[in-house]
Structure 1
Amino acid sequence: MRHPSAVSSVSASGGISAESITELGTVRVRGLLVDEQTRCAHYHSELDVIALLFHCCEEWFPCHLCHEAITDHPSRPWPATARTTEAVVCGVCCSRLRIEDYLRVDACPTCDAEFNPGCRLHRSLYFD
């Protein structure tokens, strides 16, 4: 069983945040309070089980809010020309998905873990 390692860090507001790093196979996911299936402080329902590779920094985060809280730069969505990039990882089975495949499914094609349908509401934050 994978266990995230917690690291304390100071947030932009001066408060302490609990940055975690979770290893999913070869993927290193950074975020706030990330569990072993990539749920974070912002999104933590049973269906919040993906992490995304951010185009701007080539680092993995569970969500745009974790990226914003931890990094010192704005995020940048993947261009439409990058649809074959493996930029999504399933937190349940560690399978990587190409952007084009992730955008077509409601569950992981490998393990059938359902993905949060609400994520479609902020698709434009991640993908052009």
Structure 2
Amino acid sequence: MIITGHTVRGAVIDDETRCTHYHSEIDRIAIKFYCCDMYFPCYECHEENGCDNPKVWPKEKFDEKAILCGTCGHELTVSEYLDCKSECPACSAAFNPGCGSHRNLYFES
């Protein structure tokens, strides 16, 4: 699916990146997976439709754009996302703070 000019793969169900796994009002980001350089709404979508070789973003690459706001299309670096306090810095749309519990699936500690 094309969302704000970006291809988002997986079980996407709306134009703000919500998927069949995570679809609350505040589930509105997609993560560019380091292993395949493709956006997915969540790790489960990547497991189902991704590259079969999951790798997390290494710390030395945290300055690269890896998060897509499904509301406005702003791309955040990993560092910006980790520091954003669950809100898009461009449009102030709320992000799901619960995503932090999956941090280890996306980013190096």
Q: Verify same fold: TM over 0.5.
A: yes
2:91 corresponds to which residue? 111
- Gapped regions of structure 2 (runs ≥ 5): none
2:88/2:94 contact within 8 Å kept: yes
The one-letter code of the counterpart of 1:116 is N
Report the equivalent of 1:8.
Answer: none
Tell me the distance in 1 between the aligned counterparts of 2:104 and 2:20: 21
* CA deviations over 1:13-37 (Å, ceiling 9, x no partner): xxxxxxxx23322x10011133100
CA distance in 1, matches of 2:13, 2:2: 7
Cα distance, 1:48 vs structure 2: 0.4
Given that 1:64 and 1:75 are in contact with CA atoms closer than 8 Å, whether structure 2 keeps it comes out as no
After the TM superposition, which segments of 4 or more aligned residues of structure 1 sit over 4 Å from their partners?
none
Match of 1:76 in 2: 55
In the comparison of the two structures, how many residue pairs are matched? 107
Aligned equivalent of 2:40: 61
Percent of aligned positions with the same letter in both sequences? 45
* Larger proportion of strand: 1
* Aligned-pair Cα RMSD in Å: 1.0
* Cα distance between partner residues in 2 of 1:125 and 1:72: 15
Greater relative contact order structure (CA < 8 Å, 6+ sep): 2
2:9 is paired with a residue whose SS is: strand
